[in-house]
C-alpha cells in the first residue's frame, strides 16, 4: 500500500515542471509549488519542517528571480539513536516532447516496467523512495530505528545556488546532531547489480577568448589579410588533448594518485561487460578495450573535454563570416590528488605558449570559470558497512564499489563544512538516462530501492 501511494506521488511530482535551468518566472513558480508539495508530504509524515527562504538570484541580464526555499525537516531526536540526514533535490533539467521524448516528459508513463518522466531518476524517485521507507515504519506503527533529517533543495541543476551558505549557517544548529549524510543522486554501473559510490571526480571549467575586434568581418573583404580569431582558437583547442584521450598539458598528470593493488582488485570485481556498455551507449568504439582500463579512465584519471565555441557561426546555411571574437569552452575532470590552482596555472601557461608560437596580433584571455574538488569517501565508515548489509538483505548480492566520473559538489560541501561521514547510495540503473530524453526509473529499482532504505535504517541502528 505504501509503495502504491509512493508511485501515485511520483506521478504527481513528475507532473510539476520544476526546471531550474531556464530563468523564467513561470518555471520558478513551478519550483516553489514543487517544494511546497514536498514540505506538505513531510509534514503529513509527522516531520517538523522548516522551509528556509533562499533569497533571490541576480541574472547576467539584470533580471532578478526568487530562489525556491530549501527544506530542512526532522523526524525523531532520540539521543540513543544515530541521526541520518538525507540530501535530495527536486529540480530537473529542461525537457520537451519535440526534443525526442517518446512520451510527455511531465506525465509519468509506465512501459514494460519502466517509469518514464523527467525527474523520475534524477532525483524525485530517490527522494520519494526515502520517504516511502519512513512511511513503511509509520504504516506498521513501528518506531523508526534511527532519527531522520532531510535537506531538500530546488536548485541543484543550476549549481545549488544558496545551498552552501545555508549548510555553513546551520552547521552548529540543524546539522549539529547529524552523524551520517546519505546522497542518492547518481546511478549504478549495471542494469541489475546494485552499487555503492565511494568517490567522484572534480571539475575545472575553462574559457579561452580570442579577439580581434567586437564586430565580425566579411571573408571576401578581409579573408587572407588577418590573423583570424577562429583559426587561433582551433589551434589552441587542438593542442589540449590527443586522439587517444591523453591530455597534452605539461605536468597535468604529476599529482594523480598512484594506482594501488587494492584498487586494481576493486576494478576486477565490478560487474561491467564492456561490449554491452558500448552497445547501450550507442558508440562504435571506446578508446580502451578492457573493463579495467575503461573504469580507470572514467574514475581515477583526469579527462579533458571540449564543449563548444561561443561567437562562431553555427546555424544552417552558408554565411561567409569571419567571427571577430570567439570563446572556446573546455573542462578538465579532476582526480585525487590534483591541485586546482596548480591545474589552472598549467592550463594558462600551456595556452599562452601555444598562442605565442602563432605570432598572432589577436588578444587571448584564459579564465577558469568553475572549480570543484574531487570527493573520496571512507568506505570503512559504519554507514558503508550498514549499506552493504542492507543491499545483501534486499538484493541478495554484494554491491559494486564504484566511483562516479562526474562531479557532485554537495558531497564535498557536507564533508568539508559539517565534517560528517558522507555516503552515496544510488538507486537508478545505468540506462536511466538522467538529463537525457526518455529519462526513466525502473519500477523494480523504485520498489526495491524503497525497501533498501528501510533495511539501511535497521542496519544503521544495529551498528550504532
**What's the DSSP call for residue 462?**
H
Please state, in angstroms and rounded to a whole number, the distance separating the CA atoms of residues 321 and 220.
9
DSSP 69-85: PEEEEEE---TTS-EEE
Q: Minimal CA–CA distance to 40: which of 16, 65, 4?
A: 16
Instruction: Single out the residue of 46, 187, 30, 36 nearest to residue 95, CA to CA.
Output: 30
Residue 297, marked binder: no
Longest dimension (CA), the chain: 81
Span between the terminal Cα atoms of the chain, in Å: 30
459 marked ligand binding residue: no
Taken as a whole, the chain contains a residue count of: 464
Asked if 309 and 232 count as a contact pair (C-beta separation under 8 A), the reply is: no
Report how far Cα 12 is from the mean position of its chain's Cα atoms. Answer: 24
Angle at 447 between CA 16 and CA 407, to 5 degrees: 65
178, 85 in Cβ contact below 8 A? yes
Q: Give the bridge partners for 207, in sequence order.
A: 329, 367
Question: Which of helix, strand or coil describes residue 193?
Answer: coil
404 marked among binding-site residues: no
Q: Does the annotation mark 91 as catalytic?
A: yes
To the query of whether residue 271 is one of the catalytic residues in this protein, the response is no
Report yes or no: 184 and 432 within 8 Å, Cβ to Cβ. no
Separation CA 181–CA 415 (nearest Å): 9
CA distance 304 to 286: 15
Q: Pinpoint the alpha helices (H) of 148-260.
A: 163-169, 219-222, 229-238
Please report, to the nearest 10 degrees, the dihedral formed by the alpha carbons of residues 187, 189, 190, 196 taken in order: -70
**Beta bridge mates, 371:** 204
The C-alpha atoms of residue 283 and residue 423 are separated, in whole angstroms, by: 31
Residue 307 annotated as part of some ligand binding site = no
Report residue 103 CA to chain centroid gap.
24
- Is 246 labeled as ligand-binding? no
Q: Look at the block and give the residue holding cell 583547442.
A: 237
| Catalytic-labelled residue, pool 30, 153, 156, 432 | 156
Residue indicated by cell numbers 557561426: 313
Q: Which of 17, 19, 74, 91 is catalytic?
A: 91
| Chain position carrying cell 503529513 | 44
User: 392: Cβ–Cβ under 8 A, 6 or more apart, which residues?
Assistant: 398
Binding site feature residues for Mn(2+): 89, 122, 157, 185, 435
Q: Which residues are annotated as a binding site?
A: 89, 122, 157, 185, 435
Catalogue the active-site residues: 91, 156
Amino acid at each position: 500500500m505504501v509503495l502504491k501511494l509512493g508511485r501515485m506521488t511520483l506521478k504527481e511530482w513528475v507532473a510539476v515542471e520544476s526546471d531550474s535551468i531556464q530563468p523564467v518566472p513561470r518555471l520558478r513558480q513551478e519550483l516553489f509549488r514543487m517544494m511546497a508539495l514536498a514540505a506538505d508530504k513531510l509534514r503529513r509524515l509527522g516531520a517538523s519542517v522548516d522551509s528556509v527562504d533562499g533569497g533571490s538570484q541576480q541574472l547576467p541580464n539584470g533580471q532578478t528571480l526568487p530562489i525556491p526555499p530549501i527544506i530542512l525537516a526532522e523526524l525523531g531526536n532520540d539521543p540513543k539513536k544515530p541521526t541520518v540526514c538525507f540530501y535530495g533535490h527536486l529540480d530537473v533539467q529542461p525537457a520537451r516532447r519535440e526534443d525526442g521524448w517518446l512520451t510527455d516528459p511531465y506525465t509519468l508513463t509506465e512501459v514494460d516496467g519502466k517509469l518514464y518522466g523527467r525527474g523520475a531518476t534524477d532525483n524525485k524517485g530517490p527522494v520519494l523512495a526515502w520517504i516511502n521507507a519512513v512511511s513503511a515504519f509509520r504504516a506498521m506503527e513501528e518506531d523508526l530505528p534511527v532519527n531522520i533529517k532531510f535537506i531538500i533543495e530546488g536548485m541543484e541543476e543550476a549549481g545549488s545556488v544558496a545551498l552552501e551558505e545555508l549548510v555553513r549557517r546551520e552547521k552548529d544548529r540543524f546539522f549539529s546532531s547529524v552523524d551520517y549524510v546519505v546522497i542518492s543522486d547518481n546511478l549504478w554501473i549495471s542494469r541489475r547489480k546494485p552499487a555503492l559510490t565511494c568517490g567522484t571526480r572534480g571539475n575545472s571549467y575553462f574559457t579561452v577568448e580570442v579577439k580581434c575586434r567586437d564586430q565580425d568581418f566579411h571573408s571576401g573583404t578581409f579573408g587572407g589579410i588577418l590573423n583570424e580569431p577562429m583559426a587561433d582558437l582551433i589551434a589552441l583547442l587542438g593542442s589540449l588533448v590527443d586522439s587517444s584521450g591523453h591530455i597534452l598539458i605539461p605536468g597535468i598528470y604529476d599529482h594523480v594518485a598512484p594506482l594501488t593493488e587494492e584498487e586494481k582488485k576493486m576494478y576486477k570485481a565490478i560487474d561491467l561487460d564492456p561490449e554491452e556498455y558500448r552497445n547501450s551507449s550507442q558508440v562504435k568504439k571506446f578508446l580502451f578495450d578492457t573493463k579495467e582500463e575503461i573504469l580507470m579512465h572514467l574514475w581515477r584519471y583526469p579527462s579533458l573535454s571540449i564543449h563548444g565555441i561561443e561567437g562562431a557561426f553555427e546555424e544552417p546555411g552558408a554565411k561567409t563570416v569571419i567571427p571577430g571574437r570567439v570563446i572556446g569552452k573546455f573542462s578538465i575532470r579532476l582526480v585525487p590528488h590534483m591541485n586546482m590552482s596548480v591545474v589552472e596555472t598549467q592550463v594558462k601557461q600551456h595556452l599562452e605558449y601555444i598562442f605565442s608560437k602563432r605570432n598572432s596580433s589577436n588578444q587571448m584571455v584564459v579564465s577558469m570559470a568553475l572549480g570543484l574538488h574531487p570527493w573520496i569517501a571512507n568506505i570503512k565508515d559504519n554507514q558503508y558497512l550498514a549499506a552493504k548489509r542492507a543491499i545483501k538483505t534486499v538484493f541478495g548480492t554484494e554491491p559494486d564499489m564504484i566511483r562516479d566520473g562526474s562531479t557532485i559538489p554537495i558531497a564535498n560541501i557536507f564533508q568539508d563544512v559539517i565534517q560528517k561521514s558522507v555516503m552515496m547510495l544510488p538507486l537508478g540503473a545505468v540506462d536511466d538516462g538522467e538529463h537525457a530524453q526518455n529519462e526513466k526509473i525502473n519500477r523494480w529499482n523504485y520498489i526495491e530501492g524503497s525497501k533498501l532504505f528501510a533495511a539501511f535504517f535497521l542496519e544503521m541502528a544495529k551498528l550504532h
